[in-house]
A and B are shown apart, each in its own frame.
Chain A
Amino acid sequence: MSLRVRLIGIAVLVLALGLTLSLGALTQENVLTIGTTDKITQLVFANSYDYWTWHTFQQVTGTLVTLQPGSTEPSPSLAESWSVSQDGTVWTFNLRKGVTFSDGEEFNCQAMAWSIGRNIYLNGPEGAVGLINMIRELSCPPAKLEAEPGVKPTPDELAAFLDARVDDPYKLIIKITKPDATFLARLADPITPVMATSPVSTTPADQFETTFAGTGPFRLVELVAEERTVYEICPNTWKTWACPLLPEPHRTLCVNSTIPMPKVVEVFYADSASLRAAVEAGEVDVGYRSFYAEDILDLQRNPNLQVLAGPSLSVRYIVFTVNMPPFDNVHVRRAISYAVDRDELNFKVFAGLNAPLYSMVPPGLWSHIDAFPTRDLTKAVAELNTAGYSATNPLEITLWYTPTHYGNTEADVAAILKANLEATEIIKVKVQVLEWGTYVERMSEGSLGFFLLGWYPDFIDPDNYLAPWLTESPEGLGTYLNQATSGYDQSCYDQFVDLLEGAKETTDIGARTAKYEAAQRLLADCAVMIPLWQNNTQAYAVAQKNVKGIILDASMNFRDWLIYKE
């Protein structure tokens, strides 16, 4: 090799090394960086229904009512106060004055009703508009938007509504089809489609928008799919009206302008390992959702970091399709319920960080009781014998799971469950995997008999942990309880309808608690689903030592606007 070539090579190396090393001290103090393995699907109110997209909406816009840090009770936000009629179907909201959107437009009744009406009209396939399908009329008297079941407001009606005369721009009336104790909780939901968008800055009513102005603490500056989101503190009135609503010490911090940070960058990582490495290297100030158990344990040992654990209302469970043999036999289902070893599952797969779950309503939510039995192989065998199975006549079943939708611990879970059930020496388990699209299709057509699912609540109420599978949408979620073939299961269904419908008709918390407790006991008895664990690993945040103000509460809302650096 000629000398010249060598010299050039050495020069390039030195240059590269120098550039690399010179990078060390790069800090921008007024930027808060948050890393996640979650992702944004699409920023469309009427067509989004996933954690991080909703999280993004929360940063940039608002809802009528909200869950303040540490609370699971809906409290005032864009609505200052509200009342409900005697029969429980007419809700009157007094809206806050002096709120502006990030584009400067003023918030009022028409903007709010128009946004909700528009979402009802759009009702995107991936959205959660179904959660507020009890709304039948939105009005800013005398102007109104009708949304009878099956009848949506049309784009013309929506446009006309914005121009209509209104008596009081700060009074919103929502009529619902029948009394519903969960209605307010649904509105408090981080982002049900009930939200304020500025008509001025949005695209036409009949289109799925991608840009919008909101009322939130931040404004969205940049969104690069699968890379990052950049927020800047909003020039609007959020601080003046929202700071006083915060509990202490956030109120003082907010008033003193310590929070929100002027700029927040959220970075998307492909997996826990990358996120963890970024936190360890100080590339991000905070890491949230989701670390593997092993990474959390390691990070806890790192003296330069703080590891925060929050409560989690996310649950994982087994579902049976009750009209498919052999799962139409309650004894088979109970045997499986006795045979699963939640402790081993939790230790082996999650290093002991998740909590074994003995009811679909998780601990931390009112009315929770440990309704399901702990592991008992003798009883499992007895139930199998009752169902006619024995070592010579084994029960052969297939366990289905989906590989990526719930992170990549599912394979391990399936392996443990298989070993658990085969320990009865009567059950033989074949494990099958389907990617999410096919999984959902097969589950909804009722052809998966025994499979794993997960649930993150739409709104915080025991109803949302029971009704969807048992009474509201048993086909959609694969239990088919409403089409039960056995007499026993039919009676289960009738009892669930009584309990769950009854619990929604009253707002008396005592009466509701009693009904939900009964429903949990009934579920353990009917064993239509088997709760397995509470997903605590999802509720861990890991931060640099100088980061303050991270609130992890039961709502699992991650409020960027409360976080600051010292």
Chain B
Amino acid sequence: MISVGGLARYIVTRLAVTVPMILFLLTFVFFLLRIMPGDPVLAMLGGRNISPQLIEEYRARLGLNKPLLAQYLEYLSKILHGDFGTSTRTGKKILEDILLRFPATLELAIFGMLVAILIGLWSGTYAAIHSDRPADHAIRIFNIGSFAIPVFWIGLVLQLIFGVWLKWFPVAGRLDPKIAASFQPITRFYILDSLIMKDPQLLADILKHLAMPSFTLGLVLSGLIGRISRSSMLEVIDKEYVTTARSKGLTEPKVNYKHALRNALIPIVTVMGLQFAILMGGAILTETTFSWPGLARYLVQSVDSRDYMAIQGAVVWIAILISTVSLIIDIIYSFLDPRVRY
């Protein structure tokens, strides 16, 4: 098992890799934005009566008149001090903007992941237990096919069926506006907020809005989890200790679920870090389709208005997030798998 000192050492080692990683992404995006055509000042001005002197003045105000390298170093030192700069589009501190939208994205991502794990784990386990029977074939086809479904498209199809035709779920937003009118978010993780407030009606409305977006996001990832859980279940079922358990007289279902499932979880946890990156990409499309007020939409809008600082800020934030998630997953992994030591 883990020793505290070993874990600390491991985290330090990981950070030594993570920091250059974030730095690289930041540098890449920084120079990408500046090499490419398109001027943030002109994007803001939007074709108005404005003199060239004034344009220069704004450019100076945004620090865009300095040499590229100076801009870069200045930005780096600011980031190190936790200053992400100010958005030219919203006029607010970028970190504030991000923190405002990020909980919506994370909530969607977590529930998307949850849906993916539930579907994937269940279908994979079911397929493994009923290996080579029709159910197994059907699930395998679904698992392969799920990779090929565009997130935005399945979102629209679900909207058409459950929103437009059946009218079961709302097609947009996080909350019914009438409820939103009197809702003062605390953490901005709405589910958490509704639990803190002990308001079942609020919780129900939040879940109702969350249902289709998280299902959309989860469905696309469920295939991979389904495949992994099927194969690791198959492997585990064959293994000796399950046989041993069986010989001890445990009933069939307990064998399958208690022992096998725990071991099947390990490979699923390992891919979750990478999945999280895919999830963030999928979230952009899901947020667009369902008018979800999250970070991904913020990023697309920032790209549209050439808001350099905001784009950089969002990229750095996502990079930090993904590194953190993968670190956490590694730690969880070490708890799940007794063989891993740090």
- Whether A and B touch directly in their complex, counting CB atoms under 8 A apart, is answered as yes
- Is A179 part of the binding interface, using a Cβ–Cβ cutoff of 8 Å? no
Measured CB to CB, the nearest residue on chain A to B61 is A125
A437 touches B43 (CB 8 A): yes
B304 touches A404 (CB 8 A): yes
User: What CA separation (Å) do A437 and B42 show in the bound complex?
Assistant: 7
A125 touches B173 (CB 8 A): no
Contact among B179, B200, B293 with A227 in the assembled complex (CB-CB below 8 Å): B293
Contact with B along A76-120 (1 / 0, CB 8 A): 000000000000000000000000000000000000000000000
B97 touches A225 (CB 8 A): yes
- Is B277 part of the binding interface, using a Cβ–Cβ cutoff of 8 Å? no
Interface size, chain A (Cβ < 8 Å): 64
Q: How far is the CB of A42 from chain B (nearest CB, A)?
A: 4
Q: How far is the CB of A298 from chain B (nearest CB, A)?
A: 11
**27 residue pairs from A and B, CB less than 8 Å apart:** A2-B253, A2-B257, A5-B257, A20-B207, A23-B201, A41-B91, A125-B58, A128-B48, A224-B293, A227-B180, A227-B293, A228-B177, A228-B181, A265-B177, A265-B180, A265-B181, A267-B180, A277-B172, A278-B170, A437-B39, A437-B43, A437-B306, A438-B38, A440-B45, A440-B46, A473-B48, A473-B49
B176 touches A26 (CB 8 A): yes
A227 touches B174 (CB 8 A): yes
- Is A180 part of the binding interface, using a Cβ–Cβ cutoff of 8 Å? no
- Is A126 part of the binding interface, using a Cβ–Cβ cutoff of 8 Å? yes
B42 touches A274 (CB 8 A): no
User: What CA separation (Å) do A77 and B148 show in the bound complex?
Assistant: 60
User: What CA separation (Å) do A28 and B201 show in the bound complex?
Assistant: 14
Measured CB to CB, the nearest residue on chain B to A453 is B47
Q: How far is the CB of B156 from chain A (nearest CB, A)?
A: 9
- Is A146 part of the binding interface, using a Cβ–Cβ cutoff of 8 Å? no
B204 touches A42 (CB 8 A): no
A23 touches B50 (CB 8 A): no
- Is B305 part of the binding interface, using a Cβ–Cβ cutoff of 8 Å? yes
Measured CB to CB, the nearest residue on chain B to A443 is B47
Q: Which residues of A have CB within 8 Å of B288? A: 270
Contacts A41-B89, A226-B101 aside, 16 further interface pairs with beta carbons under 8 A come to A20-B168, A23-B204, A23-B208, A28-B178, A28-B181, A41-B90, A126-B88, A130-B48, A269-B172, A436-B43, A437-B39, A437-B305, A440-B45, A440-B46, A441-B39, A473-B50
User: What CA separation (Å) do A488 and B54 show in the bound complex?
Assistant: 32
User: What CA separation (Å) do A186 and B163 show in the bound complex?
Assistant: 45
Q: Which residues of B have CB within 8 Å of A41? A: 89-91
Q: How far is the CB of A204 from chain B (nearest CB, A)?
A: 16
Contact with B along A203-234 (1 / 0, CB 8 A): 00000101000000000001011111010000
- Is A251 part of the binding interface, using a Cβ–Cβ cutoff of 8 Å? no
- Is A19 part of the binding interface, using a Cβ–Cβ cutoff of 8 Å? yes
B39 touches A476 (CB 8 A): no
User: What CA separation (Å) do A256 and B74 show in the bound complex?
Assistant: 59
Q: Which residues of A have CB within 8 Å of B181? A: 28, 31, 33, 228, 230, 263, 265
A277 touches B47 (CB 8 A): no
Question: Do A277 and B201 form a contact, CB below 8 Å, given A19-B207, A35-B177, A225-B101?
Answer: no
- Is A151 part of the binding interface, using a Cβ–Cβ cutoff of 8 Å? no
Q: What 9 pairs between A and B have smallest CB-CB spacing?
A: A437-B43, A274-B172, A437-B306, A270-B291, A19-B204, A42-B91, A438-B38, A473-B49, A267-B177
Contact among A1, A44, A435 with B304 in the assembled complex (CB-CB below 8 Å): A435
Q: Which residues of B have CB within 8 Å of A344? A: none
- Is B37 part of the binding interface, using a Cβ–Cβ cutoff of 8 Å? yes
B177 touches A19 (CB 8 A): no
Contact with A along B91-102 (1 / 0, CB 8 A): 110000100110
- Is A49 part of the binding interface, using a Cβ–Cβ cutoff of 8 Å? yes
Q: Give chain B interface residues in 170-224, CB to chain A under 8 Å.
A: 170-174, 176-182, 184, 200-201, 203-205, 207-208
Question: Do A440 and B167 form a contact, CB below 8 Å, given A20-B208, A35-B177, A225-B100?
Answer: no
Most buried by B among A1, A126, A265, A275: A126
- Is B315 part of the binding interface, using a Cβ–Cβ cutoff of 8 Å? no
B58 touches A476 (CB 8 A): no
Q: Give chain A interface residues in 464-480, CB to chain B under 8 Å.
A: 468, 472-473, 476-478
Question: Do A26 and B208 form a contact, CB below 8 Å, given A130-B48, A283-B178?
Answer: no
Q: How far is the CB of B54 from chain A (nearest CB, A)?
A: 8
- Is A47 part of the binding interface, using a Cβ–Cβ cutoff of 8 Å? yes
User: What CA separation (Å) do A270 and B180 show in the bound complex?
Assistant: 17
- Is A444 part of the binding interface, using a Cβ–Cβ cutoff of 8 Å? yes
- Is B44 part of the binding interface, using a Cβ–Cβ cutoff of 8 Å? yes
B291 touches A269 (CB 8 A): yes
Contact with A along B6-40 (1 / 0, CB 8 A): 00000000000000000000000000000001111
- Is A7 part of the binding interface, using a Cβ–Cβ cutoff of 8 Å? no
- Is B266 part of the binding interface, using a Cβ–Cβ cutoff of 8 Å? no
Q: How far is the CB of A438 from chain B (nearest CB, A)?
A: 4
Q: How far is the CB of A54 from chain B (nearest CB, A)?
A: 14
User: What CA separation (Å) do A444 and B55 show in the bound complex?
Assistant: 12
Question: Do A26 and B178 form a contact, CB below 8 Å, given A125-B41, A126-B45, A444-B42?
Answer: yes
B176 touches A440 (CB 8 A): no
B304 touches A19 (CB 8 A): no
Contact among B43, B90, B180, B257 with A228 in the assembled complex (CB-CB below 8 Å): B180
Q: Give chain A interface residues in 123-170, CB to chain B under 8 Å.
A: 123, 125-126, 128, 130
